[in-house]
């Protein structure tokens, strides 16, 4: 769950399945009563129809927690202060960063670092489309050392310069859960 609408849909679906939701946050939901195995299968099936999946093992939960933490920081926090993602992940997940990094890389074809870059570029695309900030302001807001660094990284990920992206007025942004 990466947005408020996703959280709302998950809450509604769980309540529709006669579960009381005590807490919902990015990637987790606490429900009562504890669901039986049959109820878990029913939840998983109903979530699958909506494009969600039920995560029921520790490694998958950790990977999802890494993704949600990165998304939360980049898309819902102030990045003007220098953030050391490895330290934040270690502190929040109480695991060694090398273990988290290896686990994340094994789960797909992205490293945590590449995932962070892709998320930052999606945020830059959003800000470019809004047109309220210039590239220097966007670079500062996203935590880049300079607009030149941002431009180089943007071009290496998208194949376009930020200026080209903005003038083309393409909607080539990716949903956060598809990165």
CATH superfamily membership of 58-179: Homeodomain-like (1.10.10.60)
Read off the pLDDT band of 146 (50, 70, 90): very high
Spatial CB neighbours of 11, under 8 Å, sequence gap ≥ 6: 21, 24, 29
Sorted by where each begins, the domain ranges of the chain are 4-49, 58-179
C-alpha dist (Å) from residue 72 to 11, 24, 85 = 19, 15, 12
Largest CA distance in the chain: 54
pLDDT tens figures, 91-117: 999 999 999 999 999 988 899 999 999
% of the chain residues with pLDDT over 90: 47
Pick the residue with more confidence: 128 or 25? 128
pLDDT tens figures, 62-78: 998 999 999 999 988 77
Q: pTM for the whole thing?
A: 0.71
Element of type H or E holding 115: helix 112-130
For the cut 60, the answer to whether the pLDDT of residue 173 exceeds it is no
Token reading at 130:
């809004």
């Amino acid at each position: 769950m990466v947005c408020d609408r996703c959280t709302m849909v998950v809450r509604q679906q769980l309540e529709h399945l006669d579960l009381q939701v005590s807490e919902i946050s990015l990637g987790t939901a606490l429900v009562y009563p504890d669901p039986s195995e049959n109820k878990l299968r029913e939840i998983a099936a109903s979530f699958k129809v909506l494009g969600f999946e039920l995560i029921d093992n520790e490694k998958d939960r950790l990977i999802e927690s890494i993704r949600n933490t990165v998304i939360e920081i980049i898309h819902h926090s102030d990045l003007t202060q220098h953030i050391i993602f490895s330290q934040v992940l270690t502190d929040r997940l109480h695991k060694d960063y090398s273990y988290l990094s290896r686990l994340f890389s094994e789960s797909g074809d992205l490293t945590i670092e590449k995932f962070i870059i892709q998320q930052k570029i999606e945020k830059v695309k959003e800000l470019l489309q809004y047109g309220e900030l210039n590239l220097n302001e966007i670079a500062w807001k996203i935590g880049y050392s300079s607009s030149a660094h941002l431009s180089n990284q943007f071009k290496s990920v998208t194949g376009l310069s930020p200026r080209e992206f903005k003038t083309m007025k393409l909607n080539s942004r990716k949903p956060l859960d598809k990165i």
